[in-house]
Amino acid sequence: MKASTSIDRRTMLKRLGAIGLAAPFGAVAACADSGRTSRFQPTATPKATTAAAASSMDHGAPLTGAAASQTAQGAVTLPFLPVPVMAPPITRNAPGEVLVELESVDVKGRLAEGVGYDFWTFNGTVPGPMLRARQDDIVTLKLTNKLGNNAGHNIDLHAVTGPGGGASLTNVGVGETKTFRFKATHPGVYVYHCATAPIPLHISNGMYGLIVVEPAGGLPPVDREFYVCQGDIYTPGKTGDLGHQPFDLASMADERPNYVVFNGAMGSVAGERALKARVGERVRIWFGVGGPNLTSSFHVIGEVFDRVATWGSLTSMAEHVQTVTVAPGGATMVEFGVEVPGTYVLVDHALSRASKGAVGELVVEGTASVPDLYAPA
């Protein structure tokens, strides 16, 4: 997908401003002056940091000619990373064997409009693919560290029982492959992540994902399943500084991210990449937090979750939940029906993070299916 055809940051912030969720960076002063914070007001374009400007030249991104006149200086134009892959529901009614092949891949991608980042990934996406097994399956996991990468990696899956969760068995230098096996004894939804030091750096750069271990009896069927993970990303300067942004160790040590994003980038779960459903369908969202640091208060504006896999347990559901707390290294599953058409906004309800990217969209099409559920009086 080309970046130009996806929702851009300004469009996202306009939408957020319209529902009172964001005073866009760069627009805060103007909003304060006017005494309004719920309306987008264009202001001066954020300036690229010196480092970012230099970096953007390294990556060949500066634009020239007519394009440059319409594009802020220092901006880099990069596509989003691909949408992460989800394994389909398990249809077996007995334990079996599952083979998972993961490859760590360094890849440049879009962090926000005009902002690039060097992601470290499993299989080229953030989060990595959603893995799936059935309770008591034997999972064989093969991890390859792609030639040309810049660091060693491994994988710790929280569904694993054993020291390091697989990390000590999968330390791979660049170009290496290692394989290990585990029995998925506990049903639930679990985070996996790279556990190579410094671990929070590897996680922040994108090396996390979810593994679902379905209970022996399976899960109730739904019409749509979605996969969203939240992560916090640390860059120098300010949110929205243009150009290719490096990782910033000091900000991470202070737990002060410039970006708090769903699926790796600001606007990654919106526009053409929004979650989509139709009125009358049942929806299931697998939601995890890679972090490395911030706990999410996951909420879908305009919905109440019918069932929630509290702390990721698929055998003890909570019902009728507004917001679910998901810790770094934790995950949940939420289910609900969609009865009223429109756009439902996914947020971390620590809402200052909305302007750092913790926003997504679920677009529901169709005609309202339940009379009197929602209407003007």
The residues that touch Cu ion, with contacts defined as CB under 5 A, are: 153, 194, 196, 202, 207
Q: Tally helices (H) and strands (E) across the chain.
A: 6, 20
- Min dist CB 209 to Cu ion, Å, is 12
Nearest Cα neighbor of 31 from 377, 355, 359, 361 is 355
Question: How is residue 357 annotated by DSSP?
Answer: T
Query: Which of 202/273 has CB closer to Cu ion?
Result: 202
Report how far residue 366's alpha carbon sits from residue 290's, in angstroms, rounded to the nearest whole number.
34
Report how far residue 46's alpha carbon sits from residue 213's, in angstroms, rounded to the nearest whole number.
44
Would you call the peptide bond into 127 cis, given omega within 30 degrees of 0 as the criterion?
Answer: yes
Query: Which of 156/214 has CB closer to Cu ion?
Result: 156
- Min dist CB 326 to Cu ion, Å, is 22
Query: Which of 61/229 has CB closer to Cu ion?
Result: 229
Count the neighbouring beta carbons within 10 Å of the beta carbon of residue 135: 20
Q: Which two tokens stand for residue 64?
A: 């020239």
Nearest Cα neighbor of 13 from 32, 36, 41, 34 is 41
- Min dist CB 223 to Cu ion, Å, is 36
Query: Which of 100/359 has CB closer to Cu ion?
Result: 100
Give the number of residues written for the chain.
377
Report how far residue 171's alpha carbon sits from residue 249's, in angstroms, rounded to the nearest whole number.
23
End-to-end distance of the chain based on CA atoms, in angstroms? 42
Query: Which of 197/216 has CB closer to Cu ion?
Result: 197
- Min dist CB 143 to Cu ion, Å, is 10
Helix, coil or strand: residue 8:
coil
Amino acid present at 293: N
Query: Which of 171/310 has CB closer to Cu ion?
Result: 171
Report how far residue 119's alpha carbon sits from residue 111's, in angstroms, rounded to the nearest whole number.
9
- Min dist CB 255 to Cu ion, Å, is 20
- Min dist CB 102 to Cu ion, Å, is 11
- Min dist CB 149 to Cu ion, Å, is 9
Q: How many CA atoms lie within 13 A of 208 on its CB side?
A: 32
- Min dist CB 196 to Cu ion, Å, is 4
Report how far residue 139's alpha carbon sits from residue 154's, in angstroms, rounded to the nearest whole number.
16
